[in-house]
Amino acid sequence: MPRNRRYDVLFEPVRIGPKVAKNRFYQVPHASGMTNAAPHARAAFRGMKAEGGWGVVCTGACSVAPSSDDSPFPFATMWDETDVRSHALMTEAVHAHGALAGVELWHGGAAAVNRTSRVAPLSPSGVPWMATHVGFMSAQRPKVMDAHDIRDLIRWHADAAVMAERAGFDILYVYAGMGYLPYQFLLSDYNKRTDAYGGSVANRVRLVAELIDAVREATHGRCAVALRISMQELRARHSEVAESEGHEVVGLLRDAPDLFDVKMDYSAYDCSPSRFTAEGTHEPVISFMKQVTDRPVVGVGRFTSPDTMAGMVRRGVLDLIGGARPSIADPFLPAKIDEGREEDIRECIGCNICISSWHDGVWVRCTQNPTAGEEWRRRWHPEVVARDGKGQTLVVGGGPAGLEAALTLARRGHDVVLAEAASEFGGRLLYETALPGLRQWGRVADYRLGQLRKLPNVSLYTESRLDADAVRDFGAAEVVIATGARWMASLCGANELPTSPLDAPRVYTPDDLAAGVVPEGPVAVFDFDNYYLGSAVAEALAGALGGVLGGGGAQITYITTAGTAGAWAFMTNEQPGINAALAARGVAVRTLEIVTGFDGEMLSLAQIFSGAPARIAARSLVIVGQRAGGSALYDALAETVHDFGVHLTGDALAPGAIAHAVYQAHRTAREVGKDKELPRRDAPFAMRDIARAAE
């Protein structure tokens, strides 16, 4: 189909200093977990986005010196010739599809405590970057930078810029955001200096301006220079000479970079989950940019709607549409808009499982796009599946895993029959997307059902519960079982290992609530799953039953073994929103406790470390803890099957997040009827490789 003309503005070229982006789709720097240790995987991951039509494709944070060491979190480096060789693979992959390649030159300062290099961290005034989450905590405190350190920092950026140009990068970043070193000079909380780099806003901006100049001069103006800057704090601070310190900073730097890349200060707001924020929520903070500078501006906002994107440009908010999470969920988002196929966009659901990948120190994952991170290792393409299948395949179970398995098998050429016992497809999503804030997660099912309904080799059946005899009689050549997992009514001990199911009145699991049970209040929710569901259940119950009892007590009490509600949801940036939402609903939160007993009237608790007992009144208990996989249908078929293949996948194979279920189902569907291929192993370049190449 031809492109919708109202989106033509998105395909206009944009000049960025000496370079020209072919369109307004700009994949901003974001972590991928694929550092210089996996150069081929990184090149394929970024190159896929260029193939999908993104006009600019950037790396994530790329350290300019060993004094910027973020380990154990994954980060790239631009320190020597091995790094040049590694990054060149990426720029070649990006250039092959006509896109510009950008590199985010980065120094973490006090936020990078140099666990591996053991170099003393640097900071403007010795102020540490503090965090209460154990993954970021450190006993190491930074040193105060002297004049020599400042000169070194400028030189490191210049040297890295020279190497970056040799590696083929078109756009070179100075990164003054997210608590990193140039940002620390901008913000008075960190910068207490009394020399030319501290005090007034004009002085605090000085280092950033010098870094921009050094990067430009190092490459003699051949590369574009971008400034990535956080605006959340600066925009909120009073200025004597402008509307805010943000206005003043941008005004002082308005002609310095070739591009402004604008973001928030804190990850939970910069990459906020859809559970708590809508598309485009950065606009109130960054909308002033185009009033102060005529340089092009790029920003993000989990943009998935072409109308929202075009509106951002037409209203003068942004010149380039930044994408991180949407570019992971669908690398081909620009191409689909260009081809008039908006309905085929695999929209980001804002679950932030991709962000958890960085916190985990692994290659990027995505709930919507199971091929993310597997482009080189497993040779998976997000849009192309080899049509090598034949015969009929029966998929049992129409949740996220079953839908993904059916779609991938159909794209391989199998004649697919998808049978779901319930009256609707969606599985766990049918209940979970009705919980507060989780409606966007329904895109997982919506996208797959939309694609399946277009395919002539797919038959979809609801209200079709199958037993082993029915499956055998059906006569399919292959059978995929994706019947999901079930929640258990088990408590756990102080070691957080599940015990036996609790036998007491009015004890429920999320499965009971999904089936329509309405617990009698007051209700206690015991969460030792510690991801999103326990808190979402508590929030939903508070909304349904009311947050506070007549006597002032809480109608809903949330109890967790962890130190905070939704402890693992720190990994997905949901934790701040979770705790704020529970407080707003009047939910009482009890941490570091386990449930030791329940008689239908009183709940017995114990402090997880000391064992100190406590009791609270409750009429109902909802346990969100252990999930059990497995399938009686699979077991029955696997014991007697002779003339067809049977495969267990998704939560039925191993319960997990939706991302895990979709990935396992995609892999199963790729492997049905084929010999399993071992994934390729990537490896970094070494100096000996460079020496051999030079011989």
Residues tagged active-site: 180
Tell me how crowded residue 95 is: count the other CB atoms within 10 A of its CB: 16
Is the separation of the CB atoms in 54 and 25 below 8 Å?
A: yes
Is the separation of the CB atoms in 404 and 669 below 8 Å?
A: yes
| Token digits of residue 621 | 């208990």
Q: Residues with Cβ < 8 Å from 333, sequence gap 6 or more? A: 25, 52, 53, 304, 323, 326, 327, 345, 346
Amino acid at 601: E
SS3 612: coil
Backbone angles phi, psi at 11, to 5 degrees: -110, 15
576-584 LR contacts (CB < 8 Å, sep 24+) = 576/268, 577/268, 577/272, 577/273, 577/275, 577/276, 577/437, 578/532, 578/535, 581/276, 581/436, 581/437, 581/535, 581/539, 582/535, 582/538, 582/539, 582/542, 582/558
Q: CA 7 to CA 29: how far, in whole Å?
A: 24
Task: Spell out a b/e string for 456-466, using b for 16 or more CB atoms within 10 Å of the CB, else e.
Answer: ebbebeeeeeb
Pseudo-torsion of CA 439, 441, 446, 447, nearest 10°? 150
Is the separation of the CB atoms in 326 and 304 below 8 Å?
A: yes
Backbone angles phi, psi at 13, to 5 degrees: -70, 155
Distance set, CA 158 to CA 69, 161, 220 (Å): 18, 5, 11
Q: CA 395 to CA 418: how far, in whole Å?
A: 5
Per DSSP, helices labelled H in 376-441 are 400-412, 429-432
Is the separation of the CB atoms in 288 and 587 below 8 Å?
A: no
Half-sphere exposure of 354 (CA within 13 A, CB side): 28
C-alpha angle 287-8-455 in degrees, rounded to nearest 5: 110
Task: Using CB atoms within 10 Å of the CB of residue 439, give its burial: 0 to 12 exposed, 13 to 18 middle, 19+ buried.
Answer: middle
